[in-house]
Amino acid sequence: MLSSIFNSSIVERLYPEKNWKVLFFISICICSLMTLGWELYWRKQGYEPSLNDNKDLWALNRERLDKNPKLTTVIGSSRILFGLNLNEWKKEFGEKPLQLSTVASNVTVYLHHLAHDSNFSGTLIMGVDPYLFFAPSGAPMDIPTGNIEYYKKFSWAQRWSHHIGIPLDKNLAFLEQDDLPLKNLLERLPLPLRKNVKEAPPIPPYFVSVDADRQGLMIKKVETDPAFRAHMIAIWKKYFTPPPLPKGVTEQEFMKQNAEHVGSTLKKVAESIKKIQDRGGKVIMVRYPSTGHVRQMEATYTPRQQFWNRIITETHANMSVHFEDFETLKNFQCPEESHLNGEDAVLFTKELIKILKEKGL
Amino acid sequence: MGISDWTARKTLLLIGSYIFYGAWNPAFVLLLLLSTIIDWYAAKWIEGAKLASHKKFFLLLSLVSNLGLLGFFKYGNFFLENISWLAHFAGHNTNWESMSIILPVGISFYTFQTLSYTIDIYRGNLKSCRSFLDFALYVTFFPQLVAGPIVRAVDFIPQCVEPKKVTLNQMSWGFYFMTLGLFQKVVLADIFLSGTSDHVFGWKEGSLNFVDAWIGAIGASFCLGFLLPDNFRFPYASIGFSDFWRRWHISLSTWLKDYLYIPLGGSRHGEARTMANLMITMVIGGFWHGASWNYIIWGACHGTFLIGEQYLKVLFKSYSPGILGKFLLGTTTFLLATMAQAIFRAPDIPHAINIMASLWGFHSHGINILTSIELFKVLLVMGSLIAVHIFMRKSQLEFFMEKAPSWFVVTIWSVMLFGIVIAQGGSHAFIYFQF
């Protein structure tokens, strides 16, 4: 029989007569077994426990700059996130730099953010990928903008939630955030494509782990699994293929708009760099390696003369390093054509530091 | 050592509620406290006043201070923008910039709660609370503080008097409610529907709230020994809009009825006045949801639906719908409510117009934007949801659970728990937090 749970004269809630504590206990046990099975399944698929590189982790790291505004800071996208080894930097300079780069990001968003922080006066290392550098919208803008906005409103509740989540992230593989959230698994259901719908570009699978300092490290599967590697390369090819012209815009009009966008981007970047320099900071631009088809596509769509050289000439960074210009940097091989693996990241960083020191850092 | 003393337990609960609220933004705990103190004293003064004019003055004090705070924090920029627009329209150039105001979470809920307290005391329906602790707990009680329901003092404060003892069995039933609420929010709304909704409306602002996520609040309260009223009762099985508003956001609709519609005259002053009162109530109800013309139009739509229904009832006085009639009326209610919801959810009026135009086929050259997966997710969840609402239309969850076999309860409970575990929903905001 349903019974009233308490004797409140106004609100009355009924509760069904069942042995709820036993039902709850059994449900928890079944759920735990299902979770264990889920964890074992994903471990068997090659996933390992790792911290998630989310907005909380970015915001927590960004806060370090509030305490020490002279901290050497790294901004950019995935290439410098994986390719700059923080420990190697620490060996040489005594302190790990702050890693604020995020995957698929337009570095200029982070540059403007730090330029507007009147306290920041450290050395800024910018990873420059010409393709992303001029990306006007979409994920390259949304990801860094989202991180910055999140950091500005970072609440105590979010902070606590993150700290509670760390032990779970460190021990459970199924909490990986790129491939395994239910939402992302549903997205991969093999349903027929709907006619006349522009499907979103494929999202790269999990291929990097991070630690608390946000040191990115490419997972071994990229090197050991040829099919996985081929899949990654196929995704990069799609990413590096320019989109078709917008509807109703001629190629001439598009080129004109593009030239205006490039010009205004470079002007703003130069202004931000000057702001940092005026406060005593330094800005270093680094072009990380790519290989194979990706390199060819970059050379075709973002030729050095029109992109990298122009960026360096017009923005007046203190130093710049393009991997092609140095014997010690030009022969690195990227397993999936776009990023360095862990071992090469160490070697690359060592050589990069030597070059930067020769240049006066 | 456990806390045995009821007052100490309530104090702990109050402190916990303040910490809960402060975890979002500590400064706004002071605002919550200010609102609590104003209404605590206003209520005492109303009750103690011997002259009617004095009572009225203290009620006005409560109304002005509460609505003033709400108006400043929630509607300040809206009024500024619209006055600026009007001035520009009249040929005056104003350079007013939007103020940088952070909207305190749940301000609309606790403002309406405390207003109901002082108004009830003014009307003589309630005696002022004797314990500041009980009153502060009523305003701040964390399960319903940020997303409702709007609990009346008369429903909550008496529960603070007698110590509560919750058995493990009752607490487990509370956990069932919490699991159900979390599942609906984290899995159904965030995982299955929010992405599609964001895609259609072109912005990310909270998540869908078609489900009664208040169930989680009811469950948490259960576990602490407090009872909260139902806020939603299977609204997508409503037949007509009077029925809809008896099932949808019940605590708001009853608040508006008791403190706005009836004081305006309700249905006591003829047909025209009744219709006007309905429209005013629904427009203000819409505006309560947010400082945007979308919410006002959404309220006006519901006002129009209710007025239309009144006319139809007069026209077809003797009509009693059969199964087919109920099905058609129910379908019409669902479609109209959902279309109004599209205006509610759109980021601004041009987007709302655009979406309505697409719905009615005015964009003959428009492109399909939803993918097969997105359509599949929405059809699966909405189909299931409507079926459940129709099945449960005349029932209550408690009755259903009483009859359900234990193996069924365990299966559903385990699946819901597992769904929450693997969802990894992230930090999606709940749309009702902004109210």
Regions of chain A where pLDDT drops below 50: 1, 4-9
Residue A11 is predicted with a pLDDT of 63
CB neighbours of B182 closer than 8 A, spacing ≥ 6? B216, B416, B420
**3 state DSSP class of A159:** helix
Tell me which residue in B158, B371, B409 faces A8 most closely, judged by beta carbons.
Answer: B158
Per mean pLDDT, which range of B210-214, B285-289, B298-302, B349-353 is the poorest?
A: B210-214
Q: Does B177 touch chain A (CB under 8 A)?
A: no
Instruction: Considering only residues B282 and A252, tell me which one the structure prediction assigns the higher pLDDT.
Output: B282
pLDDT category of residue B252 using cuts at 50, 70 and 90: very high
DSSP string, B141-204: -HHHHTT-----HHHHHHHHHS-----HHHHHHHHHHHHHHHIIIIIIIIIIIHHHHHHHHTS-
pLDDT category of residue B434 using cuts at 50, 70 and 90: very low
- Asked if B410 lies within 8 A of A23 by C-beta distance, the reply is yes
| Mean pLDDT value across residues B28-50 | 93
Residue B369 is predicted with a pLDDT of 83
pLDDT, tens digit, for every residue of B259-276? Answer: 999 999 988 888 889 999
Residue A358 is predicted with a pLDDT of 93
Residues A7, A69 within the same domain: no
- Residue A199 within any structural domain of the chain: no
Residue B4 is predicted with a pLDDT of 60
Strand ranges (E), chain A: 3-4, 14-15, 73-75, 98-99, 123-127, 208-210, 216-218, 282-287, 319-322
- In angstroms, what CA-CA distances link B232 with B213, B404, B409? 9, 21, 22
Q: In percent, how much of chain B has pLDDT > 70?
A: 93
Q: Return the residue in B157, B410, B430 with the most chain A beta carbons within 10 A, the one to mutate for interface testing.
A: B410
Residue B333 is predicted with a pLDDT of 96
Which has the closest alpha carbon to B251: B235, B228, B226, B224? Answer: B228
Q: What angle do CA B229, B73, B286 make, to 5 degrees?
A: 50
φ/ψ of A127, rounded to 5, equals: -85, 120
Q: Give ipTM to 2 decimals.
A: 0.84
Res B429 pLDDT > 50: no
pLDDT, tens digit, for every residue of A140-152? Answer: 999 999 999 999 9
- Residues of chain B positioned with their CB less than 8 A from the CB of A21: 168-169, 171-172
pLDDT category of residue B208 using cuts at 50, 70 and 90: very low
Taken in order B154, B156, B157, B163, the sign of the CA dihedral is positive
Residue B205 is predicted with a pLDDT of 54
Name the catalytic one among B289, B302, B351, B389: B289
Which residue range(s) make up the domain with A71?
55-184+204-358
Res B411 pLDDT > 60: yes
Hey, where are the domains in chain B? 6-163, 169-434
pLDDT, tens digit, for every residue of B367-377? Answer: 778 888 999 99
Q: Does B24 touch chain A (CB under 8 A)?
A: yes
Q: Does B4 touch chain A (CB under 8 A)?
A: no
Res B194 pLDDT > 90: no
- Asked if B191 lies within 8 A of A18 by C-beta distance, the reply is no
Instruction: Considering only residues B200 and B254, tell me which one the structure prediction assigns the higher pLDDT.
Output: B254
- Residue A189 within any structural domain of the chain: no
Beta bridge partners of A98: A73
Instruction: Let me know: does A317 contact A283? Beta carbons within 8 Å.
Output: yes
Tell me which residue in B24, B159, B414 faces A157 most closely, judged by beta carbons.
Answer: B24
Residue B223 to residue B231: CA distance in whole angstroms: 18
Which has the closest alpha carbon to A218: A226, A210, A227, A208? Answer: A208
Res B1 pLDDT > 50: no
Q: Does B195 touch chain A (CB under 8 A)?
A: yes
Instruction: Let me know: does A85 contact A245? Beta carbons within 8 Å.
Output: no
Res B336 pLDDT > 70: yes
Question: What is Dmax (Cα atoms) for chain B?
Answer: 71
| Mean pLDDT value across residues B366-392 | 90
Peptide bond into B149 cis (omega under 30): yes
Residues A316, A348 within the same domain: yes
- Residue A153 within any structural domain of the chain: yes
Extract the tokens encoding B286: 């819409």
- Asked if A197 lies within 8 A of B192 by C-beta distance, the reply is no
Q: Does B422 touch chain A (CB under 8 A)?
A: yes
pTM for the model stands at 0.83
Q: Does B206 touch chain A (CB under 8 A)?
A: no
- Residue A99 within any structural domain of the chain: yes
Residue B295 to residue B343: CA distance in whole angstroms: 8
Q: Return the residue in B417, B430, B433 with the most chain A beta carbons within 10 A, the one to mutate for interface testing.
A: B417
Residue B84 to residue B98: CA distance in whole angstroms: 10
Residues A104, A20 within the same domain: no
- Residue A190 within any structural domain of the chain: no
pLDDT category of residue B203 using cuts at 50, 70 and 90: low
Residue type, A17: E
Residue A254 is predicted with a pLDDT of 83
With a CB-CB cutoff of 8 Å, which residues 112-171 of chain B face chain A?
154-156, 158-159, 162, 164, 168-171
Residue A3 is predicted with a pLDDT of 52
- Residue A135 within any structural domain of the chain: yes
- Residue A230 within any structural domain of the chain: yes
- Residues of chain B positioned with their CB less than 8 A from the CB of A200: 371
CB neighbours of B94 closer than 8 A, spacing ≥ 6? B83, B84, B87, B88
Question: How many domains, chain A?
Answer: 2
Residue B201 to residue B209: CA distance in whole angstroms: 15
Q: Return the residue in A24, A145, A185 with the most chain B beta carbons within 10 A, the one to mutate for interface testing.
A: A24
Establish whether B289 is a catalytic residue: yes
**3 state DSSP class of B114:** helix
pLDDT category of residue B196 using cuts at 50, 70 and 90: confident
CB neighbours of A316 closer than 8 A, spacing ≥ 6? A270, A273, A274, A277
CB neighbours of A240 closer than 8 A, spacing ≥ 6? A131, A294, A297, A298, A301
Instruction: Let me know: does B209 contact B431? Beta carbons within 8 Å.
Output: yes
Residues A86, A213 within the same domain: yes
